[in-house]
């Protein structure tokens, strides 16, 4: 999660972007979005001075860009220069591709209703939407809440690695307990998805705008004449879950690992660096293996963390099946967008394979 709440409005000079962002649902409904975006002029991007301003601009341009491509009867093959040029320039500054990714649509797309209160589902609202409505808001905000609930696990991983470096066994115990507790809270957060996000509405009104580019790619006018192809927004782009893998030493393999590694490029550079730093740090798992005969309870605590991460992934698979697989027309099942099932099953199985057998 960002260290500060996301910026809610860009500085002077970007009023047209802010007005258009508020009108996206109406422009989509009236089939006027593409013609409206095509007539924009490019504002002075040098006015965007802070990281928060750049991330706010990236969110708006991501909404505009994905809405432009997917907001018609057929996908657009070219993004107009008024969107493409600033989108690519800002994306380059942020170290991410110019497409709607998890970092924008989730991590930078929320505000607290009462700023004096915690970051909780009952105190959150989305900043930007495509079609709009409670289902779309709830989908994003449930994911934000899961990120917030999992955050204590990241601090615990760092503390546990410090304890490993010191050879301090008693310092590891409370951190493993904290990691497991945070993952359980993540499960409870995911359980709430169905409260206000209907699977049918998600599949037909939300998911299409989060897709990656068509197979033939999309041309960013004024940037390159060659079509570009990027992946759509995905939970695999969450640095939280990949950090849990790193902290627990959970290795994935084959195409699974390749895909997860590819998703790093859609994260903010700082999040990528954090994952790399955790993998490069002292191994919590190896330390526990080395001490499992003398401290079997430590092994149990570690396995509890892995089991809860397995449970979270099982739960995510069930939700994904409910919201995607079961909503897809029968003739499309088993094709295209439903290939996530074997991937998620592999991720779960590879997580399970990291359980430590207690030899005592």
Chunk the chain into consecutive blocks of 10 residues (it has 360) and report each block's average pLDDT, rounded to whole numbers.
Answer: 90 98 98 97 97 99 99 97 99 98 98 95 98 98 98 98 97 98 98 98 97 96 98 94 98 92 96 98 97 94 98 96 88 51 91 80
d(Cα 109, Cα 128) in Å, to the nearest integer?
6
E strand or H helix at 126: strand 124-126
How far, in whole angstroms, is CA 35 from its chain's centroid?
Answer: 30
Structure tokens at 312: 């979270």
What kind of architecture, by CATH, is found in domain 152-198+234-360?
Up-down Bundle (1.20)
Q: How far apart are the first and last CA of the chain?
A: 40
Q: Where are the domains of the chain?
A: 152-198+234-360
- DSSP assignments along 190-242, one per residue: HHTHHHH--HHHIIIIIGGGG----TT-BEETTT-SS-B------GGG-HHHH
Residue 336: per-residue pLDDT: 40
pLDDT at site 126 = 99
- Cross-strand pairs, 324: none
Q: How many CB atoms lie within 10 A of CB 106?
A: 23
d(CA 60, CA 105): 9
The pTM (predicted TM-score) of the whole model is 0.95
What pLDDT, on the 0 to 100 scale, is given for residue 341? Answer: 84
CA distances from 355 to 159, 275, 290 (A): 21, 21, 14
pLDDT for residue 58: 99
CB-CB neighbours of 1 under 10 Å? 18
Q: What is the pLDDT of residue 359?
A: 47
The pLDDT assigned to 330 comes to 65
Q: Which residues lie below 8 Å from residue 306, measured CB to CB, with a gap of 6+?
A: 248, 250, 351, 352, 354, 355
């Amino acid at each position: 999660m960002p260290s500060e709440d996301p910026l809610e409005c860009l500085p002077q000079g970007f009023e047209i972007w802010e007005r258009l962002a508020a009108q996206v649902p109406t422009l989509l409904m009236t089939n006027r979005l593409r013609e409206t975006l095509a007539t924009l002029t490019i504002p002075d991007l040098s006015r965007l001075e802070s990281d928060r301003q750049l991330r706010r601009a990236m969110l708006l341009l991501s909404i505009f860009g994905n809405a432009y491509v997917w907001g018609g009867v057929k996908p657009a093959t070219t993004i107009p220069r008024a969107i493409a040029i600033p989108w690519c320039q800002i994306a380059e500054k942020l170290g991410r591709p110019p497409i709607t990714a998890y970092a924008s649509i989730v991590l930078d797309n929320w505000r607290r209703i009462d700023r004096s209160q915690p970051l909780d589902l009952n105190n959150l609202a989305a900043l930007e939407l495509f079609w709009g409505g409670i289902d779309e808001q709830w989908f994003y905000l449930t994911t934000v809440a899961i990120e917030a609930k999992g955050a204590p696990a990241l601090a615990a991983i760092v503390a546990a690695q410090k304890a490993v470096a010191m050879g301090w066994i008693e310092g590891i115990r409370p951190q493993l307990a904290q990691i497991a507790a945070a993952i359980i809270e993540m499960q409870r957060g995911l359980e709430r998805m169905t409260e206000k996000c209907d699977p049918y509405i998600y599949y037909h009104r939300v998911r299409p705008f989060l897709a990656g580019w068509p197979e033939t790619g999309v041309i960013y006018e004024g940037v390159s004449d060659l079509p570009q192809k990027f992946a759509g927004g995905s939970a695999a782009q969450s640095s939280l879950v990949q950090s849990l893998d790193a902290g627990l030493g959970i290795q994935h393999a084959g195409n699974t690992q390749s895909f997860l590694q590819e998703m790093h490029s859609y994260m903010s550079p700082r999040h990528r660096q954090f994952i790399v730093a955790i993998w490069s740090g002292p191994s919590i798992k190896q330390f526990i293996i080395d001490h499992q005969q003398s401290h079997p309870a430590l092994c149990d605590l570690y396995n509890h963390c892995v089991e809860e991460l397995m449970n979270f992934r099982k739960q995510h698979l069930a939700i994904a099946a409910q919201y995607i697989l079961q909503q897809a027309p029968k003739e499309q099942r088993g094709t295209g967008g439903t290939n996530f099932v074997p991937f998620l099953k592999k991720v779960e199985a590879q997580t399970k394979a990291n359980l430590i057998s207690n030899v005592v």
